[in-house]
Amino acid sequence: MNVDIAEMSGELSSEHDIPLADAMIASTAREPGGALATDDEHFRRLGVGMVWYK
């Protein structure tokens, strides 16, 4: 994690009322080339590149 990801994590957690851990995951996945494999619906609204996993 770097400073940019940490700052984005705090913003996402606060703005979207999600747990900080989920905001950290989303922030990391938003980095260039990043994506997230998940079945957790709330990541959809966070602008994360996703691979739906079920």
* Band (8; pLDDT cuts 50, 70, 90): very high
53, 38 contact by CB (below 8 A)? yes
**What's the whole-model pTM score?**
0.82
- Segment 1-12 shows an average pLDDT of 94
Number of structural domains found in the chain: 1
- Segment 4-26 shows an average pLDDT of 94
* Band (54; pLDDT cuts 50, 70, 90): low
Distance CA 38, CA 7 (A): 23
7: containing domain: 3-52
- Quickly tell me which residue has 């996703």 as its tokens: 50
What average pLDDT does the chain have?
88
Query: Helix 3-16 crosses helix 20-29 at what angle (to 10 degrees)?
Result: 130
pLDDT (tens digit, 9 = 90+) per residue, 17-35?
999 999 999 999 888 888 8
